[in-house]
Structures are given as structure tokens and as C-alpha cells.
Amino acid sequence: HDTKTPPYATSDKTSFAYISARDRWPVIITGAIDDVFRTLSESNDAEKNAEGKRIIEDLVALKYELQHDRKLSPIRDDGTPDVALYNHELEALGTPSWFNVPWLFSECYLYKRMSTSFSMSQHWKSYDVFARQKNDTFRSSRPAVYEIATRFKDLVNGLAAKTEEAANKTPEEHEEAQRLLFVEMCEICLWGNATDLSLLTSLSYEDIQKLQGAKARKESEKNILANDLQQAYDTLKKARDEGKKERRVDIVLDNSGFELYVDLILASYLLTSGLATLVVLHPKSIPWFVSDVLPSDFASILGALANPKGFFAASSTPAAEDGKDAAASSSSTAAAPLSDAEAADISFVFSQLAQHHAEGELLLRPNRFWTHGGSFWRLPASDPELHEDLKTSELVIFKGDLNYRKLTGDAMWDPTTPFTEAIGPLGPGSGVNVMALRTCKADVVVGLQPGLDEELRAREGGGGDSGSRKWAWSGQYAVVSYSGGK
Ligand code: F6P
Ligand code: MG
């Protein structure tokens, strides 16, 4: 069920796959080792500490194997059914080595392998080695969190109050205003994906803020290279206008922290505007690509929003002090207390979310499929139940770069290939309406106008004639792609 188009591989020195394996993954493993060290140093539990040391040894061995281009070894059986899937795939690939393996599979393997070191212990079973980083970065996003909370509050009040201004609008003007609101909410949600932790390991506090504000979003509109938002809007509007009783939207989540925050804002907007009556969120089941959402992150973000003064005022942490985390360290210098007005606006977001949750309109639905090593081309065949479930949704929104790579099989498509073709079995006829909201952080891209890739490569830093599609690596550009599956 895989695409016939060959996938990107770590052996290709012009691809971001090679650079990821050579430069980024060792840094990520080292960060995990440091994190376990730190937790160890804070614990007096001898058994836990002995296990922690064994976990560190595992992680050191993993880093060694990667950096010395050893073969990917079978994953130890931690009792989860996906271990067999990973190990069968390794065999099918002929037990490849780190620098000669499909990028998508090897990167998923990396996180699955790390997670088994923890899951096979007694005391670290549910330990999230990336939780500290996720929390610290969310703290650094405070100005944008507040800015968006304020905008959201105005918008919800506007939707509820049917203000005079709205009453004076012609139906056409009203409709156009609704459409623009949808576009704005989706763009906020899209650019929230620019700040994931696996890629942006060295962002400063100021850099993060620049990426997140309203001004940045306006300036970035020209960087959306393919934009199918209108089709997604039409789909949701049609369901609402037809008076369909349950109108469900799914969000296959990507990153925690700021991105999850804007996903929740989008979810709440969809519910409040009546474009959806139910939003189902799909988190990951193991610590994944550093910053991806786990069910525990959902709980932490709600906790932070419920108590914004406490969360955002927290001063510098030891991680920040030792200078390992640029974002966290600079956040400590900028932490003036939240004003009452700021805290009230953030609490407003919390109260809306809590209400949706209490009314059963906002659900979290984990599934191990999302942390398998293969692409979503396999979804209908390998998890028919999940496929059936997604068919009942009006729109399934896939957030972020990795989900886009999985939708398209992370394959070396010609960039003008239609999105509907590149997503194979999830395309037309699948019964699933798909929308990808993705900032580009990898080589694969489809749905571009002829000549656009060449034009972007010719720009400064775009890759030129190096053979690398460098413009697509930094999260500066984005694609919003839709496929009607019904
Ligand atoms: O390309 C860089 C990268 O870290 C990939 O490894 C991965 O696909 C992606 O970014 C993670 O980004 P996102 O959180 O948007 O999926
Ligand atoms: Mg991610």
C-alpha cells in the first residue's frame, strides 16, 4: 500500500534527511540524556536512579550507533503491538544502516526506540523526556498567547452578541465576514506550526515571539504557496446550511505548547460559529518528534490556561540557568507578572474550552496508529476501524510537517503533482475529507504551480543549483491543501 514514488532517504546528501540524521538527531538524543540526568539529580529514589542510569546508557548507545552508521537494531519487545510492525519493516528493508534508510521510517524508529528505554522500566514508564522543553517553550510564547486570547474573546463576544454592526450587514457582507474569520483562525492555526521543537532547537525568546504575532501572520500570507482554505470552508458551510445534526471536525494534532493552544482556539471557534458540533483531537501515544502532543500535554495546557498567573509568572528553571535551552533562558529575563486584564483574557479561553469539554463537544481520541513507522497511505488497509471513524467526520485537519510527510508518503514527488494524487488511498474516493495545514520543514512538497519550486530555489538561501530544496526546510513557507474524499 505504499507509494511507488521513492521516498526520501538519509543516504541522499542533498536532502534534509541527511542533515537531520547527521546534525539534528544527535542533538535531540543528547538533550534527552541531559533531561534524564537532571531528573536523576533531583531524585533520592535509589531504584529509580539505577534504572535512570540504564536508560542513559541505552540513549548513549543509540547515539553511538547513529553516529557510526551502524545497522538499526530490532526494537525490544515492550509489550506494545507496534514493536512487531517496526521490526518486520526493518527486516523488509534488509536491516539498513542509519545513513542508508528511508527518512520517514528511520525518524519514527528513532522515537520508538527511545520510548522503549523508558517503557521497559518500572519507574520511568510514563516519563516524557521532552516535557520540560515543551513547558518552557509554551511559557516563552506568553505575548502571543495573550494577543490571541484577546482576539478570540472579542470574536466570541461578537459572534454571541450579534452586534449592531452585524445586523447592519447585507447577507453577502455577513457571509464574507464569516469566511474571513474562518481564514484568519486557520492561518493562526497554520503558523502555530512554525515553532516545533525538533527543528527550532536554538530559537531565542524574541525569535519565537516574532513568529507568532498578528503582524508576522499578515507578512507571511504571501508565503502560503498553495491555499485551499476556501474548499475546506465550503465543505463545513455546506454541512451547516444543510442542517446536518452532527458536524464533526477532526484535528490530527502535531505540537504541544503554542501550536496546541492555537489548535484549541480553532476548535473552539468552529464550535462557537456552528461550523462544527463536535471536534475530535488525535494526540500521539509516545513521546514523539520532541514536541508532539501527548494526552498529558492536553492536561498541562488546560492547567496552564486555568491558572495563567501561576504558569506564566514561573521564574527561571535550572534548565534555563545552565543555558541549554535558549528559549527558556531568555524567558526568565522577561517574566514580569501578568496583569489582571491579561490573565482574565487567558482564563476566558480556558472557560470556553472547559465548557466544550464538559458538554462533550471536544474529545481527545488517542490511537497507536499515529506513532507507527509507515505513511498514511497504509491507513485504510492497516487500520480499517480508524478509517471508518474518520469517514464520519466532515473534515480531518492534519497539522504540521510530519503529518504532511506521512500523508504524501514522504516521497520524491514532482512538486506540481496534485495533492489529491500524492495522498493516494486517502484521496478522492476514500470517504475522508482531508485538509493539511503545514509549514514546510522537509523536502517533500506537492500541489505547486509549475515553475514555483524553481523560483523559490533561485531565491537567496533557496538552494540554488545545489540540488537541495533548501527553501522548504525552515518553516518559512507553508501549504494548505485540501482533498475531498466523499
Ligand atoms: O524536517 C524537520 C522535522 O523535524 C522533521 O523531522 C519532522 O517532519 C518535522 O520537522 C517535525 O515538524 P512538525 O512538528 O511540524 O511535524
Ligand atoms: Mg511535531
Percent share of the chain, pLDDT over 90: 77
pLDDT tens per residue across span 117-171: 999 999 999 999 999 999 988 988 888 888 889 888 988 887 766 555 666 778 8
* Packing angle of the helix pair 340-358, 142-161 (nearest 10 deg): 60
Q: How far is CA 188 from CA 182, 374, 403, in A?
A: 10, 29, 18
pLDDT tens per residue across span 338-367: 899 999 999 999 999 999 999 999 999 999
Question: How far is Cα of residue 207 from the mean position of the Cα atoms in its chain?
Answer: 19
What pLDDT shows up at residue 405? Answer: 98
Q: Which atom of ligand 1 is nearest to the CA of 442?
A: 1
* CA of 286 relative to ligand 2 center, distance in Å: 12
Global ipTM: 0.96
pLDDT tens per residue across span 157-215: 877 665 556 667 788 887 888 888 898 899 889 988 876 544 443 445 555 555 556 66
pLDDT tens per residue across span 427-456: 999 999 999 999 999 999 999 999 999 999
The answer, yes or no, to whether any atom of ligand 1 lies below 6 A from the CB of 402, is yes
| Global pTM value | 0.92
Mean pLDDT along residues 5-26: 98
pLDDT of 239 over the 80 cut: yes
pLDDT tens per residue across span 390-441: 999 999 999 999 999 999 999 999 999 999 999 999 999 999 999 999 999 9
Q: How far is CA 387 from CA 267, 311, 381, 482, in A?
A: 21, 38, 9, 18
Mean pLDDT along residues 326-330: 37
Q: Give me the count of residues in the chain.
A: 486
The dihedrals phi and psi of 427, each to the nearest 5 degrees, come to -85, -155
CB-based neighbours (< 5 A) of ligand 2, an ion:
196, 254-255, 289, 292
pLDDT of 262 over the 80 cut: yes
Q: Pick the residue whose CA is nearest to atom 13 on ligand 1.
A: 401
Q: For cell 519550486, name the residue.
A: 453
Give me 134's grid cell: 515543551
